[in-house]
Amino acid sequence: MGNSWQLRDYVFAAFMTIGMVIAVVVVGPFAPPGLQLLLWAPLGGIFLTLGMARLQRRGSVALMILPLALILGLISPIITLYLGSTVLVTELVMCFLGNYGQKLNRLLGNILFFASANLGGLLLAAYLIKGTKAAAFTNIVSQTWLLILLTVVSGIAGGAGWWLGELAIAQLRKAGKMDVDA
């Protein structure tokens, strides 16, 4: 792949962002506070994996997630803050490990993204949200074992999304609809 982003890359990233937004809308109403990301990770991970596989270079996660962060910021600026910091963590680590052209890097990118999003989201919500909504987040953060458990489980859920995404990639490759290396 070339070094510069092309229009088709932006369009593809936008469609993956739309897929993630739809996934949030689908699972959001069914998840109790503090568990939304855990339920979103398998569905969101599919679109994140597809985007990583198609775009394959550093910055791919940022290209998909930062527009999502801005859109979800309409719900809460805290979401924009934690998604932005999550993108920063994911892309910084991947900067040292390479791009998203390999399955293992896509898996690591998903796990990193969803685990750090969970940790950052819960911590920010516990300390920045005021009123009755803060109680659930403060309760989770005050129990270190629960915070660690939810972060690990979110990473695993992101791994499940990666697996489902890789299955979709294999089918798209068979159909000749995705020109991605294994």
All structural domains of the chain with their residue ranges: 7-174
Confidence at residue 181, expressed as pLDDT on a 0 to 100 scale: 63
User: What's this model's pTM, rounded to 2 decimal places?
Assistant: 0.89
Confidence at residue 2, expressed as pLDDT on a 0 to 100 scale: 53
> Are 94 and 105 contacting, i.e. CB atoms less than 8 angstroms apart?
yes
Ramachandran area for residue 56 (φ above 0: left; ψ -120 to 50: alpha; else beta): left
Phi, psi of 131 (to 5 degrees): 90, -160
- Cα Dmax for the chain: 52
61 to 21, 53, 57, 147: CA distances (angstroms): 15, 11, 9, 24
Confidence at residue 82, expressed as pLDDT on a 0 to 100 scale: 85
Confidence at residue 182, expressed as pLDDT on a 0 to 100 scale: 53
Per-residue pLDDT tens, the chain, 182 aa: give them.
457 889 999 999 999 999 998 998 888 888 887 788 889 999 999 999 999 999 989 999 999 999 989 888 888 888 888 899 999 999 999 989 888 989 999 999 999 999 999 998 888 888 887 777 777 788 888 888 988 999 999 999 999 999 999 999 999 989 888 876 65
Q: Residue 14: what residue type? A: A
- Annotate the chain with DSSP letters as a single string: --SS--HHHHHHHHHHHHHHHHHHHHHGGGSPTT-HHHHHHHHHHHHHHHHHHHH-STTHHHHHHHHHHHHHTTT-HHHHHHHHHHHHHHHHHHHHH--S-SHHHHHHHHHHHHHHHHHHHHHHHHHH--STTHHHHHHHHHSHHHHHHHHHHHHHHHHHHHHHHHHHHHHHHHTT------
Phi, psi of 32 (to 5 degrees): -70, 160
Q: Which residue has the tokens 């855990």?
A: 38
Confidence at residue 139, expressed as pLDDT on a 0 to 100 scale: 81
